[in-house]
Structure 1
Amino acid sequence: MSVNKKALSERDICTKYITPAIQQAGWDIQSQVREEVSFTDGRIIVRGRMHSRGERRRADYILYLQKNQPLAVIEAKDNSHSLGAGMQQALGYADALDVPFVFSSNGDGFLFHDRTGLSGQVETELGLGDFPSPERLWDWYCRHKGLAGDAQETVETPYYDDGSGRTPRYYQINAVNRAVEAVARGQDRILLVMATGTGKTYTAFQIIWRLWKARQKKRILFLADRNILVDQTKNNDFKPFGQAMTKIAKRQINKSYEIYLSLYQAVSGNEEERNVYKEFSRDFFDLIVIDECHRGSARADSAWREILEYFEGATQIGLTATPKETEEVSNIDYFGEPIYTYSLKQGIEDGFLAPYKVVRIDFDLDLQGWRPRKGQRDRHGNLIEDRIYNQKDIDRNIVFDERTQLVAMKVTEFLQQSGEFQKTIVFCDNIDHAERMRQALANLNPERMRESSKYVMRITGDDVEGKAELDNFINPEEPYPVIATTSKLMTTGVDAQTCKLVVLDQRIQSMTEFKQIIGRGTRINEDYGKHWFTIMDFKKATELFADPNFDGDPVQVYSPSPEDPAMPPDNEPGEPVGGIEDDTGNWDPAVAHGAAATFPDDPSEAPKKFFVKGEPVKVLAERVQFLGPDGKLITESLTDYTRSCVKKQYASLKDFLRRWSDTERKQVIIDELAEQGVFWDDLQQSVKKKLGAELDAFDLITHIVYDQPPLSRRERADNVRKRNYFTRYDGTARQVLEALLDKYADTGIEHIEDIKILQLPPFNQLGTGPELIRAFGGKPGFQEALQGLERALYGQEAG
């Protein structure tokens, strides 16, 4: 009996035709073929204080030479589609997965798209019995990549597998494979760009592991710029290296190890310390991996660069989230163009990084400037220099106590509304500013401070107690500290998985620093409910989101010739190279090596700072910006954005009212509009501030989008009672409907449409769920009564 292919499902086509064809070609179904592979998590869609996930990207088949070495993608369709119907979809997956061989099939055969050109043409139709073998595709792959002999053996070396089932994410596989292939081919300077929170250290481990196991590289140095990063790396991702690994300590050089971890500062401090790395011969290391290479190592004259040039014969791989490209500094000039880039935007789109919304608050002092009255003195009695002070002066040259208080008050209000125990980092201009902000926040949260004096902590480079709490702050299981005020110390190297609020009261001019700071909130932690975060901006720093370079590929600016002079010795503002800040916000590398902080001996040489008390400060503008469904920051007002979203679906009030009336469950419309980008919770808060009442979803839309006079939920409920709607029911049924109306007034239409509400107070005091439904003559009767209640609520408007 012949099989009618047209009647088979896509899954049947896979099982009966595609999988057998692959297996017949010599592919091991258990180890080389994976079906229905979801390789993204699905973008997180924020709906007020709720969230959902978008669809995951899923390939029907991915074929591997071995685990984590993908070669081909196959997209399957049922037999009602043409042979190549899935090709464009498969090509999109192949772009993401970085594979050169792409197939589409409907069960009759395959359409083969060859990106290498080695098969003779771009696309070819193949019969079911003509699917290429793994040996053939691997041969073409290696020829395409320029891999032969020892290089091919290196690339075939497997990933580390601890047996736990953990596998690298697809973009980590891309970065590892590209790096290993580049090293195998003999490339000696390599740059990988991966957004903060995407697992650069784990990626580095897998690169090093494979090169080490292949004996391509035998002695390896991993450099990082924070001690906590080195220790975390040694104890976590790099732990499988075991006894072959050591951390370099000053004056304790042991050359019997193979994997070395070190702080830049440990080998690049004063002259004596710089000699530490010279105890190794120039050819001792054959691979150096540099974490956060956008920092001091990007400068041609930096001490860190001196290490790299000393070991110039070693292969050097730079890892960064924010490649630094300015007229003075370039790491592309040193490492070359990135061989792989995985951006913040892509991470959010894939659902691996947390999306964000921006609360932008502008003060009159900042935008309009301030000039002292003639002869005005500050609270210390100092005569204030007569000039106009603007935003770049505030908290650096002049301090307004009332402004500090207002920032702290806005932060406190936000936390009280959204959760007082969500981890928060407040970025300030300098240590003095961070301390003043700590005091202001502590005074505004007396109850929390009584519960624990560590509710608010200043975590800066000069404060021993604060730095000691850094591990507790980033540990999701530790409740305190909740709020950390800082300036530079927490800009990088802080894996704050549960940070839900990033406050910017710091003037930020550096795109590099801005990306690093935003990266403090981009990590997701499902177990602790961290799926998205808020940026609260008081100093217009988020204007950098509008910069076209915010999330684009780096553009090289500086290309020095050998005779060019050395670059200016100062770092870009906000780019420390180790040590701690002094109280002016400057970075002192000496302190990283145990020396005391350096301050001007003559007080007159220090920048003059005035402390002003009693000046009123006003909020000129406050708005919320959201990351929309298209991945772009919505800069229009929330009401304007809502209006445009709704009118795309309901051009007129009549269209909306007809749909509202015809839809049995109003929750369906509410969910649809949420998916279109309507932020219900934030919209409710915005309207409540203006009207002082809670509006139903119906009234929110008709009022904001179509300019209709709104009624509060309570007013609608009272109108139903005035119409004597309940007289048609008696006994338990009437009691249930009256309780449903009360629930509507309290919480809205969505909740009374869920039949599970009958299991909650006060309904469960009237009887069990089945008993209450029987009071209406059964479920159809209950549904009819509920729909009647909804018609009564909306009256003629939606009838």
Structure 2
Amino acid sequence: MTPEAKARQEIDQKLEQAGWVVQDLKKINLGAGPGVVVREYPTDTGPADYLLFVDRQPVGVIEAKPDNTILTFVEDQTERYARSTLKWRITSTPLRFLFESTGQVIHFTDGADPSARAREIFYFFKPEQLAEWLQQPESFRRRLKAQMPELPTRNLRDCQISAVTGLEKSLAQNRPRALVHMATGAGKTFTAITSVYRLLKYGDAKRILFLVDTRNLGKQAHQEFMAYTPPDDARKFTELYNVQRLNGPTIDPAAKVCISTIQRMYSLLSGEPIDESAEDVPLDQIVQTDKQAKVVRYNPAVPVETFDVIIIDECHRSIYNLWKQVLDYFDAFLVGLTATPDKRTFGFFNENIVAEYTYEQSVADGVNVGYDVFEIETEITKKGAELKAKEWVDHRDRQTRKKRWAEAEEDLLYTGKELDRSVVNISQIRKVIQAMKTAVETQIFPSRNETPKTLIFAKTDSHADDIIQIVREVYNQGNAFCKKVTYKAEEDPDSILASFRNDYNPRIAVTVDMIATGTDVKPLEVLLFMRDVRSKGYYEQMKGRGVRSLDHDALKRVSNSADSAKSRFVLIDAVGVEKSLKTESRPLEKKPSVPLKDLMLGVAMGHRDEDTVLSLANRLVRLAKQLDDKALARIEKRSGGLTVGALGKTLITAIDPDRVVAAAIATAKEKGITRTEETLTEEELTAARAQCVAAACAPFDSPELRDEIEAARREQEQVIDHINLDQVTFSGYSAQAEEQAQKVIQSFADYIAQHKDEIQALSFFYQQPYQRRTLTFEMIEELHDALSRPPLMLTTERLWNAYARVKGSQVTGADTKRQLTDLVALVRFAIGLDTELKPFRDQVDRRFQEWIFRHNAKRTTAFSTEQTEWLRLMKDHIASSCSIARDDFEYAEFAAKGGLQRVWGLFGTELDGVMTEMNEELVA
């Protein structure tokens, strides 16, 4: 069978599964079904491979090509057939639907779209779908460009207006992926529902999927849809459109919005039974196993055209690895929502950021509040401890928590990281809780009569139970005072969460993961971290639980002694979590020990560094929430019409990089010079920043204004004794060597960013659909060749040494000889896929051990000694070449042991499957 014949065989099969009747020309019967496909249909420019008929009318054409054909090269051929004169056809109107396919890959172009262009689809559309499209006056993409009216802005924040309009502009341009980056608390879901409503009403979208990764987020989203009232209709959203929260295997055909976890949708498309407990855990915390890794298959009950748009909530954690297949499957626009994007997120959404609203901007606008960091450190947390053999201690079962009193069998030296996992030190927990209580009552919120609403992050459910018992003891309170809110809580976690949010008790909640992300508890004012977090994005989400602003009346309902609106929250770090991570959203308060009056006098005297400006801005924004109307009015009068909050926001805006660039360009234009962001000089940017900051600081030249603000502060502001956190400023290489290493790393990062689409090895890490990922030695050679040539001269050895100097403890293997495949590890580390840089061989060794252990566990008999020896040889080959194939057994290391003949004798027909598994598992 020729390659093209194989492709046609697969095309026939896929068409039939999608509901088409496939016929030869000699046996044509257009009445055989609603959709008929005729092979080799004659036209005046030659026979078309496939002609599509819907309700007896020709509507489209398929050009079939053998596998590995680049389909964009044959689009002209498809269009030629679509415009040709068809034999026996009465009219000569060009056919609308154009397909190219190799059987494995399908491209589709809708001729009715504006600036019609091809897109890849997972499977062929059903004939009923093409019939529906033909009956519509305009295609969906044309409606998005022509029919979306101006957005009513009533009840919308500026950031929400920007997000909706930015998204609609992106959709009108037919850009397949868009990212909405909005700070926690800015109303991402409300913004998304506003867009959904407009897409349904004005864009006449067929159906929209709202994709989440936990049931809790799905429940919250459903509640927000039910509560949403559009600006042009008095009815609720759910009175206008059916919203289905998917809990089973069937999508309601009447539903216009479907809310589903990505796990459930994956189950629907892969045929893998769903583990409902997995819907309770964020996807970035799920360890994927062989059992889970099923390939998504075509499901006629859920065809690829089911949704026009997919909105992905918390997209920074839910769309990678095997879950990405769900998004590859549907022919839909993809819209991501996140407060904490990482490099992977930006890459997946093609760097099409339609809205960007940062944490700092949200604080300046009063949408969120700033935070302070308070540190608690104990001796055992920092250094661990030692238990001597023969000492009598409790031993507790992790699951049942049943205890036995017995001697320690041997000396046990444990570190702080092992606490509450393998070792529990009750004294350590008690010291932290007691220190928190003392700090809150005497330093952080000294004027409060009740404990502020506090959330404690624990390591495990067992750790959470220990914390709860000690909190109740230290605070001398009953059960209602402190509750556990996790998926394993004995009480209904939703009812506990509702009480924590709205009632006096519980004052303190302890969680592991349930309310670590995506759950609003606006009265929260204290977050205590008793677990470290390695994921930057997850940590930012956890911090986001405390950022929500709240007015005085609402805060007073649950914390009666609160004397102002919520103006900040305090992060208490008991495990060094702030030091172990570099976070994107940082405390705006950079100089907590400097009095407000000194900050104001400092800017008046010319201190315009970023720390001083940001600290003053944060104090003013915070003060605006605390002052009464009379004090606010006095300050506004002194400032010439600017409110306290506006003074703070102006300072933050003045050092915003985008605003500085715009000011520099405008200044150059006034001088008759044309500048772009890329052509601005450092001198012009520095001058523009100085100009912006000077204008923002000008009001503080007035001593009357400074005195008025200071007088108001003395009347209202509490004195808070902050803990000044220290950090290592230098360790290791000289400043000059480190600076050079930084330049090497930056050159590498810039090259990856500029060439990620054109170099195959880089494309592997960004855009390849899940089922076509491959990485070859030739691709790595190509990348290495490009990097090592002048002017870059970025050899693998040089890059590794640079990272070792700059990143220190994050890099291992600096003293070992480099392999070409170490470039894989360098790229993964540079784009943020790995948090540690380890030699590629070490990574392959680790993955091999995990793979062979799982594989042996599944087999009735484990691999034999000789089979294992060959697997290790194959593993070593992958470590040096990125893959293993049959031809590779001709190499000396294999040939000396019998080559392909011997390995086939050992593995038989399992060999190809084993090689495929190893290629996928070891080079992931």
Structure-1-length-normalised TM-score: 0.49
What TM-score, normalized to structure 2?
0.42
Q: Which has the higher contact order (CA 8 A, sep 6+)?
A: 1
